[in-house]
Each structure stands twice: as C-alpha cells, then as structure tokens.
Structure 1
Amino acid sequence: MRVVITGGGTGGHVYPALAIAQGLKQAEPEAEILYIGTRRGLEADVVPRAGLPLATITVQGLERRRIWRNFWALARLGRGLAEAYLIVRRFRPDVVVGTGGYVCGPVCLVAAVLGIPVVLHEQNAFPGMTNRWLARVAHTVCLTFPEAAKFFPRGAELVTTGLPVRPEILRAQRAEARERLGIGRGDTFILSVGGSQGARSLNRAILPVLQFYRGQPSVRILHVAGRQGYEVLKEEAQSLGIDMDKNGNITITPYLYEMDVALAAADLVVGRAGASFLAEVLVRGLPAVLIPYPYAAGNHQEYNARAVAHRGAAVVIRDHELKSGRLLTTLQSLLAQPSRLKAMAEASLRLGRPDALERIVERILAVAHRP
C-alpha cells in the first residue's frame, strides 16, 4: 500500500500528520508513505527528522489583508498544482491523507482529479478554509469536534474520530508523576501553560494568582511562561515577593519538556485552546480554564474552547477579560468547589478519545483497500 500524507505550515497540521503516518506504519509495516509539504513550513524540518521521505511543492496561502499579494499566491498555486501532479502521478498512492494547511489544496485536488481517494482530518471546531473547500472532493472527513460538521458542505461524509495524542501522554501514571514532582497526596496541582512561545497576556494574568497562592503548600502551581517571556515574568514575580527558592509551591519555567508527567499529575489546567493541547487535556480527563488565543485564524481557538465548555469540561475566559483579574477569581471559585471540579473532570474524560489514532487509521485503510 502507498500513502501520500500532506499538511503543513504549523504544528497543528504537521504533528497530527506525523502521528497518522506512525499509526499507518504500525498497522501495515510494509506500507510506503510519502509526505508532501513545502520548503518553508515546519514540515521541512520535522518530517525528515521523523524518518519520512519528504517531497515539496511551491505554494503559499491567501492573505485576508493585503489582497494584492494574492495575485502572486495564485501564480504559485498554478506551479504547485503542476508539481503536485508530477509527484502524485509518479508515486501512485492508493490514498491521500490531508491534515490541513494550504499545501493540502493542490495535492488533494490533483489526487481527486486522478481518481485517488482523499481522506481529510480536521483538528478544530471551526474548520480551516482549505479543508472546508476540499471536503467537496474528499471521500471522508475525520473530525476532532462534532461541532465542526455544520461548517462542511452538505453531502460530505463526516466521522468524528478525535485527534491523535502522543503515546507518552496516554502511558503516564498519575501516582508516579506526582511522586516525581514532589506533590503530596492531598495537594492541588495547577498546571498553567502559555505555549512554547509564551503568551504575554497569560503571563501577566498569572502574577496575581502566584501572589495569592504563594506560601500555601497545599496548592502547587507550575507555570510555563515560554522562552520569550520567561525572564520578564521571573523579574516581575520577584518584585512582588514571589521568590521560588522561598515559595517552594510555585515554579516558573520557560519550557516544559515532560508535558506527559505534568498532565498526569495535574488537578486543573490553565491554557490556550489549540486542538492538540486540548486533545491531551481531555484524554487525561482534566478540568480546564481555557483562554483562547484571540488572533488564531478564524478565531478557531474560541470555537474549540466553547465546544469543550458546552459539555461542562471547561470554563472559558476571553483574552481581554484577563485584565479584570478574572483568572484569579475563577481559580478561587473552582478550588472552593471540589464537587464541581470532579464533575468537570468526568466530563473531560468523556470527551477524550484515546483511540483517535486507531479510528483514523482504520478509516484510511478501509478507503485505501476499497475496490
């Protein structure tokens, strides 16, 4: 079996694609997989590192603000279509899998014209423009959130599978993780994540939280400030008397390599509402306070957060509301209501889909082997 996987630009498109590739290789070790991306996207770096062959095409996305630049984008699209045609025709895949991003457009369109079935995976509750358009030629669209279904054209075959999470997230044991982090049995552990690049508004909003809970040993807080915001936040925390050597219940770090350990140990999570992060939070059955990134394309993070909150697993705070101190009051309210936290955790666990990868791979194999 031969499979083309395409998706690019950001980690939200690339990492699910890599997880699907790994799942396909586990299901069919003899399968040949080719990844098609661009030279400028994240895939150009991480796909070869993952041991997958990478072919690239020339394409760029359309811009909403500088409309005049779209003439150049359309010219590149023509070139990208020609390059995609040559690659797909030469490789002769049984199925093409797209995970979003503008590189998917030419590849999946060429596949459809050549009669090769296309399977899409949509990560967000508000689908990206490329996937919404490609759904017209796709055989199947796998959804992370059922709420995304209403945005796709009528007649598209939709199935809710969830989003694949890293195996280590599923394997981590809570008791071992808490012991490793030195968290007592009766302590409450709050994990706050601003993202790998940091989130200035969240870093500012966490300061009153750290100040309020400093020196309270029954509440442990780990805040991931991001590499860009770490030094500034650390200085501001110290100016407020938050000394991590003395206030041992508070930890600020620029980056968190062992997210699997932190999630396994956590009682409550604070963070953005990217699809991959949310999938990990839900599969661990964690209650969450979500602050959607307001500048995400199509405001898709707010759609993600609202979908989770609608089912009782999260509280949503909009980014501009952080200035009013709402993060601290929300955390105080939640920690004062153990029964509510328990109900949120149960709702989160119901939403989690630990079998997402298996379901996606199963659908891809069914399409690939169909006569």
Structure 2
Amino acid sequence: MRVIFAGGGTGGHIYPALSLIKKLKHNDPDIEVLFIGSNRGLEKELTQELGIPFTSLDVQGLRRSFSLSNFKTLFKFVDSVSKSKQIIRNFDPDIVVGTGGYVSAPVLYKAARMKKKTIVFEPNSYPGLTNKLLGKLVTKVAVSNDDAKQYFPSSKIVFTGNPRSQEVYEESLAQKKHQSLKQEIPQVLIFGGSLGALQINNAAEEMIRQHDFKNIKIIFGSGRKYYADKKEILDKLNEKENVQIKPYINNMAELLPNISLIVSRSGATTIAEITALGVPAILIPSPNVTHDHQTYNAKSLSNENAAILLPEGELTSKKLYEMIMNLINDHHRLSEMKCKSFSLGERDAADRFINLMKELVGENAY
C-alpha cells in the first residue's frame, strides 16, 4: 500500500498520523508513506526523527473578518492545490488521509478530484469549516466522537476513535513490563499543548514560585517559546524540590502512565491520550479555537465525571493550586475519575482506522 498523510501545524493534527504510520510500518515494513505538512509546524521535525519522507506546502487559514491577507490565503491555496496535484501524481498513492490543519485541505481536495480514495479524520466533537466542506468530497469521514456525526453525510461516517489512543495504551503496557517499583509520590503534569498556553503557563509559573511541593511532583511542559522567553526564571524554578520544567513534552506516551493528575488544554488528541489510560484531568479549554470546540471536548469528559472543566477566565494560580491539592488528597474521587476516564478510551482506534483504509483500497482487513 502507498499512503499520503496530510496534516500539521499542531500536535493534535500530527500525532494521530504518526500513530497510524508507526502501526502501518509495524504491520507491514514494505508500506510506502509520504507526509505532507506545513512549512511552519512541528511535523517536519517529528517526521525527520522517525525517518518518514516529508514534503511541505505553504498554506495559511482564512480570517473570519475581512482582511487583505485573505487574498494571499486564497492565492496560497490555489498554488498548493497545483503542487498537490504534482505530488499525488508523482507518488501515486492508493489512499490519501487528512488529519487536520490547513495543509490537509488542498491535498484532500485535489486527491478527491483525481478520484483517489480519501479519508478525512475529524477528532473533535464539533468539526471546523474545512473538514465540513471536505466531508462532502472525500470517500469516508473517520470520527472519534459520536457528537461529530451529525455534521457529515451519514453514508460516509465511520467511527474509528483517535489512533493516538492505541499507541499510548500499547506503549504503557510495554512500559509496565519493565517497571517493578511503585512511584513514591503522586505526579502532576501541567501541559498547555504542543505550542504551550500562556494563561496556563502564567498560573503554573506563579504557583510553583509561591509553593513548595513535598508530597507531590510537578512536571510542567511550558512550550518552547515560553521557555525561551523566560529561561532564566524557569531554570531557577526548576531547581526547586519535586519540580521539573521542560520546554516540550516529547515523550507523552512514556510519561502519562506515571501521572496521577493532568492539567491541560482539551484538544482532541490530549483527550484521546488521557482516556486511553484513564488519567484524571483538570481541563482548561482554549477560548481561541474555532466554534469553541475544546469546550465541547472537555464537556464530553466532565459530563461523565472523568474530568473537571475549568474555564480559562476563572484560572488563577491560587485556584489551580487548590484544585490540584484537593484532588490529589481525595483518593476516592481521583480513583472514580480514573475509572470513568478509562471507560471512555478507544484502545483499538489505530486498528479500526487501518482496517478502514484496507477496505477502501481492497486489501484484507485484520
């Protein structure tokens, strides 16, 4: 099988594709893959680390209000469609998979027009405009939340779950085989997503400065830009007992099995990762995303008592500290949240997705 994956910009659009590529390669080393990403996201670095062939397109999003930059956006889209045609023609894929981000639009649009088998992956409970439009053109729409089904043609919808969840779960099982000692104190991960989150970072930094942590360990992933801007301050805080501050969490699958509580945004991939393992969460949705979809994502957990939803407008260092300590010290509630979260996980999502790919190209499913 020859597969083109298109997606990028943030980890939520990249990691599901990487999970699928790893699984495909594990099952069949002869599978040929090409990753098409943006020229500004993390995808180039991450694909290079894994030895995945990569090429980029120069694309950007439309502004909601009138802006002259929208003319530039449209020009870049038309140019990217033309380049996508050449890439698709040269690589000649059996199937093209889009996992989100602006770059997936010209690639999937052109692939569909060229009569290639196509899948768009919608990880959120509320899809953005791009995926809604692509859903009318592609062969199938893979979703990981039942709430998203209403926005796409019913004949095209396949529930797969988020492929990232299976990778995280399987890595945690492998890790358990090599762990014999139980961790001494609870570990709390504070993480604002692959690009960092300013309000979460500010609250976490102030909390770490104001408090000592004798009975819990704080792991804080700030994002590279924030860390670079405040390196001297964060390096000093990093010297405190039971505090670990990192520019970027690049080993989430290894880290999560040891986490007692996570404080994070509620992007779809983060939701997939924490429910795969049943990690209790304080979720702080980003207010700067299309149609407030992170709030929808967070509510899918908080409504089931698997997480606590904390609006960003209510976030302070004092409230964050109190919520963390109250949960860590409430073993019954933490255990209940863990069970509820685990019950929502999709731990065979990559297999489901790959079976869909195989069915579309006429190969035998697993």
TM-score, structure 1 normalization = 0.83
Counterpart of 1:157? 157
In structure 1, the partner of 2:106 is 106
Aligned: 1:172 with 2:170 = no
Aligned match of 2:311: 318
Are residues 58 and 280 of structure 1, via their aligned partners in 2, closer, same or farther at CA, if it must alter by over 3 Å?
closer
Tell me the CA shift for residue 311 of structure 1: 2.1
- Residue 142 of structure 2 is aligned to residue 142 of structure 1: yes
Q: 1:261 to 1:78 in 2, by over 3 A?
A: closer
**Residue from 192, 199, 202 that aligns with 1:201:** 199
- Which amino acid is 1:222 matched to? I
Assess if the C-alpha contact under 8 Å between 2:305 and 2:340 holds in 1: yes
Cα-to-partner distance string for 1:41-81 (whole Å, 9 max, x where unaligned) = 44344334432333444543322245322222223322322
CA separation of 1:89 and 1:244: change in aligned 2, threshold 3 A? closer
CA distance change for structure 1 residues 243 and 154 in 2, over 3 Å: closer, same or farther? closer
Partner SS state of residue 315, structure 2: helix
Aligned equivalents of 1:155 and 1:299: distance in 2?
A: 27
Amino acid at match of 1:202: I
Q: How large is the RMSD of aligned CA atoms in angstroms?
A: 3.2
Q: CA shift at 1:118, angstroms?
A: 0.9
Bigger radius of gyration among the two? 1
Cα pair 2:7 2:38 within 8 Å, conserved: no
CA displacement at 1:134 relative to structure 2: 0.8
Pairwise mapping of residues 115-264 of structure 1 onto structure 2 (< 5 A)? Answer: 115-164=115-164, 165-166=167-168, 168-173=171-176, 176=179, 183-184=183-184, 187-195=185-193, 197-206=195-204, 210=208, 214=212, 217-230=214-227, 235=233, 244-245=239-240, 248-264=241-257
Write out per-residue CA displacement over residues 302-338 of structure 1, whole angstroms, 9 at most, x where no aligned residue. Answer: 2221112122210010111013843233334423432
**Could you tell me which residue of structure 2 aligns to residue 10 of structure 1?**
10
Q: Say if 1:213 and 1:219, in contact at 8 Å, map to a contact too.
A: no
3-state SS of the aligned residue for 2:97?
Answer: strand
CA offsets, 1:94-122, max 9 Å, x none? 21111112222222222222322211212
The 3-state SS of whatever aligns with 1:172 is: helix
SS of the equivalent of 2:132 reads helix
How far apart, CA to CA, are the structure 1 residues paired with 2:40 and 2:2? 25
Contact 2:35–2:53 at 8 Å: present in 1 too?
yes
C-alpha contact (below 8 Å) 1:288/1:315 kept by paired residues:
yes
TM-score with structure 2 setting the length: 0.84
Q: 1:121, 1:318 → 2: CA distance?
A: 27
Matched, 1:272 2:275: no
Give the whole-Å Cα distance in 2 for the aligned partners of 1:335 and 1:46.
34
Q: 1:293 to 1:233 in 2, by over 3 A?
A: farther
Unaligned runs of 5+ in 2: none
Instruction: After TM superposition, give the deviation of residue 141 of structure 1 in Å.
Output: 1.5
Distance 1:237 1:37 in 2: 33
Structure 1 pair 221–66 and aligned structure 2 pair: CA distance change class (3 A): same
- TM-aligned CA deviation for residue 132 of structure 1: 1.4
Paired AA for residue 217 in structure 2:
R
Give the fraction of aligned pairs with identical amino acids, expressed as a percent.
33
Matched, 1:19 2:19: yes
1:140 touches 1:159 (CA, 8 Å); kept in 2? no
Larger deviation: 43-52 or 228-237? 228-237
Question: Which residue, 331, 335, 350 being the options, matches 1:342?
Answer: 335
Aligned to 1:357: 350
Q: Describe the SS at the equivalent of 2:136.
A: coil
Distance, in Å, in 2 between the alignment partners of 1:311 and 1:357 is 24
Corresponding position of 2:321: 328
Any conservation in 1 of the 2:126–2:293 contact (CA below 8 Å)? Answer: yes
1:133 shift after superposition: 1.0
* Helix, strand or coil at the partner of 1:98: strand
- The aligned length equals 360
